[in-house]
Amino acid sequence: MTAAEHAVRETVRAWLDAVKALDFEAARGLWDAQFDGLLYQPEEHELPMTDWDTILRYWDKVPALVESVPEWDEISSMMAVVDRVALVFSRLRTSIKIRDVDKTFDGEVRCSFGLHRTDNSWLLVHYHESRLVAVEDVISELTR
């Protein structure tokens, strides 16, 4: 693993740890808030957020809805680093405890990350997550 790949891996690991801990203060330091072209797509939003203030407002609301994240663990990942740009695709095993709901919301989430190299570090500028949907389950639901 090259030094750049190692640094990118550390940024992604820090992001995953911050989400699992619901520590969005730590998450802020992993993003380039000044980047023109931010994209943040959580699974529950129809459209991505594309400006820093909107992302911060979203993060501020998460702890009111989510009690804890017992699992937000990487299953596997792939990475490409070219010059000052890095792309990462990760599969996560997840469990989310929603406030006032007995059961946890469990399953596999797929995430893509876009990072770029600044003077001192690799920072996130793109994040997208989506649930893995079983086609058989969808077909079964549609044909009932």
Q: What is the CATH number of the domain that holds 37?
A: 3.10.450.50
Residue 130 has pLDDT above 90, yes or no: yes
Q: In this predicted structure, what is the pLDDT of residue 132?
A: 77
Domain count within the chain: 1
C-beta separation of 126 from 114 below 8 A: yes
Region 59-88 average pLDDT? 97
Q: Which of 57, 55, 28 is nearest to 39 (CA)?
A: 55
Q: In this predicted structure, what is the pLDDT of residue 81?
A: 97
Strand-strand pairing, 39-41 and 122-131: parallel
Residue 61 has pLDDT above 80, yes or no: yes
Q: Which structural domain, as residue segments, surrounds residue 13? A: 3-142
Residue 139 has pLDDT above 90, yes or no: no
Q: In this predicted structure, what is the pLDDT of residue 138?
A: 67
The confidence band for 124, taking pLDDT boundaries of 50, 70 and 90, is very high
Measure the CA–CA gap between 26 and 19, rounded to whole angstroms: 9
Q: In this predicted structure, what is the pLDDT of residue 141?
A: 72
Region 33-59 average pLDDT? 96
pLDDT digits (tens, 9 = 90+) for 4-22: 999 999 999 999 999 999 9
Q: In this predicted structure, what is the pLDDT of residue 140?
A: 77
